[in-house]
Homo-oligomer: A and B are copies of this chain.
Amino acid sequence: MRLSQYFLPTLKENPTEAQIVSHRLMLRAGMIRQSAAGIYTWLPMGLRVLRNIERIVREEMDRAGAQEVLMPTIQSADLWRESGRYDAYGKEMLRIVDRHDREMLYGPTNEELITQIFRDNVRTYRELPRTLYQIQLKFRDEVRPRFGVMRGREFLMKDAYSFDVDYESAKKSYETMFNVYFKTFKRLGVTAIPMRADSGAIGGDLSHEFHILAETGESGVFYDVAYDDLMARDQVDLETVSKLYAATDEKHDPNHPDAPPPDRIRTARGIEVGQVFYLGTKYSKAMNLVLPGPDGAEIVPEMGCYGIGVSRLVGAIIEARHDDKGIQWPESIAPFQVGLINLKAGDAAVDAACEDLYAKLPSCLYDDRDERAGVKFADMDLIGLPWQVVIGPKGVAAGIVELKSRATGEKQELSVESALARLNS
């Protein structure tokens, strides 16, 4: 993509409405624009990142055997009356009356609808275990939407639901999703520590929140230093994690029997980006989801639900990966892998060298604008592509380009061939 053609309205100044760094950077880097309180349009650069995150989440869900569906955003209030949540949900639920005076709502979550689909379409326990998921817009009418996409009202979420014949099987489904989350966050280039979470009125100890560590995190988190090693692994199992203490400030209790001594506790800030939750039969029972079981007797499936805040992750990853110049995208979700800077647009030799390289880089944003070098450097650092290639008259004469890593700042002078080999490897 040529920057001269790209719809990328970057801002030089910090927008006053943005209180946290990810919100500031997403506005400045031309990724999003607010259209109403807590409601955003994703511009091309932001949408690329959002789609990359979505793709990784989808790939890991599919790999684990979950199957994708797409539920509608607008749901019937009657459905939510079956579970008792229509009255219980409160003002965060966006309630709607349609032209025929039917009460509807914009789904803040989908336990009711997925349970209905299961109830209407599954005939035997033999179809279990089954995990269905979707990546779909949700709406929660936050009283004070803020922090950009981190706490918006309309947001994109992956929500998954598992159905099992009994608790043992449900626990396996939970473990599978736990592993999926660990792998997913690793691929997204961030550390997300699973914390034991409140499982509320349902009881049981099967609920974890995944928190990305970031200075600007909304929650204080406290965790065993052993996590540092654990999170570096390629895979962890639920049992190992369950032995280690980790809690958000709401749950933290230094006197808890599992809490390690103070010198083995790390204190940090965290952003919740995912939650896995064993639901038991709360919804299946309330909504009369009953199936003939193995021995002819009826069973009430055990459910679990598993959320990842897809749009929130864009902000959370920026909170974890930025410096004072801008964003530092992990390669896995970068909108482009390479930013190519032409130091002298209009100079025939430099233009030719840039065009040549541009044609050979499959994921490149080429700054071909007639702008000062300083502006180009600043914009490129701001948008945070993993690699920058700088080409100017001197380099062209000497047959070299400068390759810079955005994350480390490390610069190298290389032949065009070596740079290409490095970038396309």
- Cβ A69 vs Cβ B96 within 8 A: no
Report chain B residues within 8 Å CB of A104. 36
Q: Which residues of B contact A154 (CB under 8 A)?
A: 72-74
Band of interface residues on A? 35 or more
Query: Which residues from chain B contact A102 at a C-beta distance below 8 Å?
Result: 36-37
Interface residues of A in 107-124 (CB under 8 A from B): 113, 116-117, 120-122
Q: A36-B104, A44-B67, A68-B44 known; A73 and B137 CB under 8 Å?
A: yes
A55-90 at interface with B (beta carbon < 8 Å): 65, 67-76, 79
Of B33, B137, B143, which contacts A120 at CB under 8 A? B33
Surface stretch bound by B, among A2-10, A283-291, A347-355: A2-10
* Chain B residues, CB < 8 A from A37: 102
**A50 and B67 contacting across the interface, CB-CB below 8 Å:** no
A35 at the interface (CB under 8 A from B): yes
CB of A403 within 8 Å of the partner chain: no
Are the C-beta atoms of B74 and A40 separated by less than 8 Å? no
Q: A41 in the interface, Cβ–Cβ < 8 Å? A: yes
Q: A122-B9, A143-B99 are in contact. Are A41 and B69 (CB under 8 A)?
A: yes
Contact residues of A with B, CB < 8 Å?
5-7, 9, 30, 33, 35-37, 39-44, 47, 50, 65, 67-76, 79, 91-92, 94, 96, 98-99, 102, 104, 106, 113, 116-117, 120-122, 127, 130, 132, 137, 139, 141, 143, 153-154
Q: List 15 A-B contacts (CB under 8 A).
A: A7-B121, A7-B132, A35-B71, A35-B79, A35-B113, A35-B117, A41-B70, A41-B72, A41-B113, A41-B117, A42-B70, A43-B69, A43-B117, A50-B70, A98-B141
